[in-house]
Every structure is written in structure tokens, then in C-alpha cells.
Amino acid sequence: MEGFHYYNMFETKGLEYILTIIFFALLIPFWMILNKKSAIGRRIKEALGVLSLKRLKIPMGIYHSANHLWMYLSKAGIARIGFDDLLMHITGEITVVPVKQPGETIKKGDLIAYMNQKGKQLKVFSPISGSIKQFNTILENETETITSDPYGNGWMYEIKPSNWIAETSQCFVAEDAINWTSSELVRFKDFLSASLWKNNATSSLMALQDGGELREHLMSELPQEIWDDFQNEYLKDFSEHKNNE
């Protein structure tokens, strides 16, 4: 019959099915490539040492002070103190020179040690008052212990506290410690950008990864001027504690 056209519906649908199969056949390997690239990207970031909250150890049962020292009170009433994991990830491997000796009495905010890193230095102030019982001499010979095990064998001093409850009331514990550490990462990034700019060290902005991510141990690559700013601005609130009392 003139004007009548015959279409095979099954042939048309079959073509659609074939196209659908081809589409998914192309989509699956594309999706696998994207996921593989994402996984590779994560591994590259880990290899480069991108500093993030997930890479930090934050024990729930210890006190974290504002100057990035931790404290733990034993059943015997002796407190151990040391450097928190964030500070170690920022500075890299360090050596510690004690200022106070066993038997000496200290107050919160007293200078108790120097932290040295490739000729650069930070002052370390006590987060509590009390009597010095012991300095961890392991740190004099096995400096890598501070960075690898900061909350264990990397402790710095043992102190018999004289005002524990009052002096730890402003410290961070458990979930508060996690939230505080997260905010300190942001604050460090802001500090670093400002300090690099102020000291005309913009060429050192490579200390930040693409996208503004922080690299671990990046302070080890920066000059003493940045370390001075870190002491006076990033750790300023606590290092001036005694002067504000």
C-alpha cells in the first residue's frame, strides 16, 4: 500500500539495547580509571606527607595544653608531660635540651627546655607547676623517639604537680582535644601564610601543597625568622602566661 511504511520495533529496540551496552562498557572502565586516579592521588599525598587531622594521634585520656604539650597524671600522682603530635608533625625531628633538673621547683609558664631543629630553636614552657622528678634521658640519644612515639616513650619530664586541678582546667580532653587540634591546623596555616609574607619568604610558599594543603615537617625547611614568629605569635598566648599573671 502506498504511503504505508513498516518499522520493525524489535530491530529499533535492539539497537537501543546495543547502544546501552556499549555505553556501560565504556562507563565502567572510565569509572575504574577515575577511582584509580583518586587512590593514586591519596597515596601521593601520603608519600608527600600532607598534614591533616586524620594523620595525627590524639589520645582521648590526656590533657592537651595551649602550647602544644600534653600531660598525664599517673595513679602515683606523678605527671608526665611531652610534645603533642601536631607540634612534632610541624617541626620534624628535634633535640631537647633540658633547663630544669630533678629536685627543682617550677611554676606554670617557667622555661623548662629548649627545642632545637637544625640550628633553629624554640623555648618550651611548663604547662603545670610542681617539682621536677625526672627528665627523659632517652631524648638525648634517641631523638626520633619524640616524633615516632610522642605520647609513650617520647615523654619529656616527670613532675609532681602542686596545683593540678586548677592548672588543667583550661586544657583540652577527649572530643574537645580533637576539635581544638582541628582549629589549630587552620590557625597554623593562617599563621604560616602571614609569616612568610611578612618575612618576604614567599618563595617558601611551596611549603604548602597545591590547593593550600600543609606538608609535614615543613618548619624544618624554614628560616629562624619564621621560627621566631612561631614562638611569639603561634605559641604567644601560653609563653606569656607568667607575665600576665
pLDDT tens per residue, range 66-91: 999 999 999 999 999 999 999 999 99
Fold of the 56-245 domain: OB fold (Dihydrolipoamide Acetyltransferase, E2P) (2.40.50)
Contacts of 188 (CB under 8 A, 6+ apart): 90, 214, 234
- Spatial separation of the C-alpha atoms in residues 223 and 47, rounded to whole Å: 24
- Contact 80/71 with Cβ under 8 angstroms? yes
Q: How far apart are CA 73 and CA 80, in angstroms?
A: 7
What average pLDDT does the segment 97-125 reach? Answer: 94
Query: Which secondary-structure segment (H or E) carries 134?
Result: strand 130-135
Indicate the DSSP class of residue 230: I
Q: What is the pLDDT of residue 215?
A: 83
Q: What DSSP assignment string belongs to 4-40?
A: -----HHHHHHHHHHHHHHHHHHHHHHHHHHHHHHHH
Question: E strand or H helix at 146, and its extent?
Answer: helix 144-148
Residue of higher predicted confidence among 200 and 174: 174
pLDDT of residue 205: 53
pLDDT of residue 12 exceeding 90: no
Question: Across residues 91-112, what is the average pLDDT?
Answer: 94
Share of the chain above pLDDT 90, in %: 52
Q: Which of 6-15, 17-26, 105-114 has the highest mean pLDDT?
A: 105-114
> Which position has the higher pLDDT, 124 or 18?
124
- Label residue 26 by pLDDT band (50, 70, 90): low
| Among 128, 93, 83, CA closest to 221 | 93
pLDDT of residue 41: 39
Find the angle CA(159)-CA(160)-CA(162) to the nearest 5 degrees.
120
For the segment 25-32, the average pLDDT, to the nearest whole number, is 59
pLDDT the model gives residue 197: 85
Three-state DSSP at 200 gives coil
- pLDDT tens sequence across 30-58: 555 545 444 433 443 443 468 888 889 99
pTM value is 0.75
Tell whether the torsion through CA atoms of 49, 51, 52 and 58 is positive or negative.
positive
The pLDDT, as a whole number, for residue 243 is 44
C-alpha cell at 113: 627546655
pLDDT digits (tens, 9 = 90+) for 138-184: 887 777 888 899 999 999 999 999 999 999 999 999 999 999 999 99
Q: Which of residues 28 and 199 earns the better pLDDT score?
A: 199
Alpha-helix runs per DSSP H in 156-209? 164-167, 175-198
